[in-house]
């Protein structure tokens, strides 16, 4: 199939997916570029279609994935259509339209021995994407994003995940509702605080442990803070006052990995 007109109704619908309102209404989002499309195809994302530059053809990296996924439609489009749909400053040869998948808290308990990272009001897309990537790299059980976080389907967030979004459960929901459910199922909730007594390098992250990371400016919200079991501190003997949210989350995730590897 080929589409050349910028006025095509499907093109207009794809372009609307740059806005969160339309992503929520259509229950779809766009991934841009060869790498993200490759990851989406390889790891079984629910892809509606893949659109590629008709003058350049299907990228070689994707040709072996033509049969991946159920009912994926491959559509040749113009460079102008790609520019209209995609936000990346560098022209992309391909994008995919992906259907959102309903998340369930159960997915975060598939392997209780792996930590879950919980984000409370984290608004920076780059930090959110980087934390998802660190969670993936460290073998975490998943990521839970609370209300007020940057949209995980924001193009900047997606680019920052480098495809990790497709490798582990990433769930969105109300933390005041979901965290008590997690505790009732045996999860311990821990967060970082400058007033924390225990060192992050002495805390026991084994077992079912959910790590709560607060927003860049104000930290964990009071409502969520009341639900947390333990507050710990990351030792910082240098002169920096703090770490940003993504760095703090990464330190905790890899300390948890170190402890799992030593068991």
Render pLDDT for 6-61 as a digit per residue (tens, 0 to 9). Answer: 999 999 999 999 999 999 999 999 999 999 999 999 999 999 999 999 999 999 99
Closest CA to 138 of 258, 263, 36, 233: 258
Non-local CB neighbours of 236 within 8 Å, separated by 6+ positions: 242, 243
Domain boundaries, the chain: 2-99, 105-262
Are the folds of 2-99 and 105-262 the same?
no
pLDDT tens digits, residue range 49-90?
999 999 999 999 999 888 765 689 999 999 999 999 998 778
Three-state DSSP state, 239: coil
The Cα 26–Cα 22 span in angstroms is 6
CATH 1.10.10.60 fits domain 2-99 = no
pLDDT tens digits, residue range 115-168?
999 999 999 999 999 999 999 999 999 999 999 999 999 999 999 999 999 999
More confident residue, 91 or 109: 109
**Fold type of domain 105-262:** Alpha/beta knot (3.40.1280)
């Amino acid at each position: 199939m080929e589409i050349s007109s910028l006025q095509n109704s499907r093109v207009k619908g794809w372009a609307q997916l740059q806005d969160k309102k339309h992503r929520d209404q259509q229950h779809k989002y766009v991934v841009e570029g060869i790498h993200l499309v490759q990851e989406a195809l390889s790891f079984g994302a629910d892809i509606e279609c893949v659109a590629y530059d008709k003058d350049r053809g299907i990228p070689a990296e994707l040709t072996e994935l033509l049969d991946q996924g159920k009912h994926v439609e491959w559509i040749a489009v113009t460079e102008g259509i790609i520019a209209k749909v995609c936000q990346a400053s560098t022209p992309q040869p391909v994008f995919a339209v992906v259907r959102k998948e309903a998340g369930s808290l159960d997915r975060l308990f598939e392997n209780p021995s792996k930590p879950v990272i919980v984000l409370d009001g984290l608004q920076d897309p780059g930090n959110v994407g980087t934390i998802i990537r660190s969670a993936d790299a460290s073998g975490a059980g998943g990521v839970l994003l609370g209300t007020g976080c940057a949209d995980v389907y924001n193009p900047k967030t997606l680019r920052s995940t480098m495809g990790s979004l497709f490798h582990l459960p990433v769930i969105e929901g109300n933390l005041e509702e979901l965290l008590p459910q997690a505790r009732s199922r045996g999860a311990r909730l821990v967060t970082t605080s400058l007033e924390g007594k225990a060192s992050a390098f002495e805390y026991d992250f084994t077992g079912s442990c959910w790590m709560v990371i607060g927003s860049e400016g104000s930290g964990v919200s009071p409502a969520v803070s009341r639900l947390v079991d333990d507050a710990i501190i990351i030792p910082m003997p240098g002169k920096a006052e703090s770490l940003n949210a993504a760095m703090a989350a990464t330190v905790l995730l890899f300390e948890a990995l170190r402890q799992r590897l030593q068991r």
